[in-house]
Chain A
Amino acid sequence: MALVLLRRLLQAVVTVAVVITLVFLIFSVIPGDYVSSLMAEKRSLDPAVAERIAAELHLNDPVPLRLGQYLVGILHGDLGLSFATQQPVTEMLGGRIWASFKLACAAMACAIVTGLPLGYIAAARQNRWIDGLAMVFAVSGLSVPGFWFGLLLMYVFSLQLGWLPTFGYGQGGIEHLILPALTLGIAPMALLARTTRAAVLETKTADFIRTARSKGMSEGRLVRKHLARNAFMLILTMIGLQFGSMMGGSVVIESLFAWPGVGSLLIQSVGLRDIPVVQGCILVIVLFFLIVNTLVDVAYLLIDPRIRYK
């Protein structure tokens, strides 16, 4: 177990370094910078002022020098100052990570609570009408753009029924969380339903299931002891991947619902070319993905003794 974690940690360090360097280089070479974003505010900016801002923010320094300074800063836990607000990036992110994490957890919970039973029922009633219905539902969930689905939910639950607030964070209560969580959770739910169905169907026809059934094992015990446990490995992988990518995938949904997470900060910062904040957001998204997937690896070890023995 310790070896697995150590290997994961090393991989994470390399991944983070590569991603951060790439993002830094991309934003350094594409045209436009923070000063040009100021000039794009539909107001003319005095060239002397623009020059002063660029010098103050070291935008004219050589790229290798800026990258080196940034990487050294990261090693010291310093993500720099936002160009736009002059606030420490760590401070700006700190206020937003919890909101994004809460939204990701709620969306994943929605996906698991609906996707798993749906997939299992579809597999249990293979080729019957309920299987077809469940899969139509799943495919629709995958095909529907999250943005459009969010607007649809707003229209139904806020505008027509008046049950839930349209957008915003409120006091952090559940009523503000429901619509964005459902919107963000729809695609993972559909994917989980399909994965669960496939995993259960594959496991159902395995030799050990046939053997257990022929030995007279009850259906409930068969599902609990053999079918669910074996099928769950594939499902767990899917949950890990989906959950890990939710922090980054919530960018559009957070903007739509005025949700104060990392995603909406990222969108704003890209528009402003506020590179330190963009880097900080991407770092959080990458780290979240790596942590979740490391936890999934640990879960493999706990669930499946065969992996431990290997």
Chain B
Amino acid sequence: MATYILKRFLQLIPVFLGATLLVYFLVFSLPGDPIVALFGDKPVNEAVAARLREQYHLDQPFWIQYLLYLKGIFTFDLGQDFSGRPIAAVLGEVFPVTARLAVMALIFEAVFGIIFGLIAGLRKGKFFDATVLIASLIVIGIPIFVLGFLLQFTIGVQLGWAKPTVSSAATVQDLILPAIVLGLGSFAYVLRLTRTSVIENMNADYVRTATAKGLSRFRVVRVHILRNSLIPVITFLGADLGALMGGAIVTEGIFNVPGVGNRLYRAVTQGEGPTVVSIVTVLVLIYVVSNLLVDLLYAWLDPRIRYDA
């Protein structure tokens, strides 16, 4: 088991190098001169521009830029963004906000998805099941930015139940509506996955045996149906955490959340290479680590699974 975990961590090295190289190259290839763009409508001051180019190594060829960036990472200096703030500080500011948002979305989709999915599965073919299935199909079918604006307008503006936009502090209360919007798509998937899994397990022989032992219906459902049904669901949820962090761009845009997505979008449009690469690399690492955790969780949930070296 320890060997397995070590092996998985060693895999992070090529993933890290590959991801940074790829993203750096993409940013490098963006058309236009970011420094010129910084001057906006004003005339370009060549001396300032040259100094900035030197400061951000933009006068160097691609490989030198990339290697200098790597060197920075290993000396714990990620450099500065175009407004002169250290990138490390920017990361420290935006990641907690998005992490909070993603975890809230995850809790929302897990709790409601599993409860609704379980009830729908146990009442397969009944009214509740049919309603929930159709509703989940609608949620999956409508793009997230439509859902986002719709909920922002009805719940936030018209009904006033929640704030339509998020303050710069991005408190838990502020993030409730964005988290629901962010989690809605996955909520529908969790619901359907739970439902399918429950239906499959309900007809399993061991469930019948559990009933024959004289267990109450509640216990049969909780211990023998739900527990077994959750194995694929939890796998999905774990992998989804990484996807939620990276996929929050649209939601953050709608609700003006000061998180990773907004900052990343700004960095991309401004051609801030080091900022884009840093944010994306952290996202990739979160994704890889959360996948590792899912695999370990999987082995813990299902004792039949063993990871050999």
A and B pair up: no
The residues of A with any CB-CB pair to B shorter than 8 Å are none
The residues of B with any CB-CB pair to A shorter than 8 Å are none
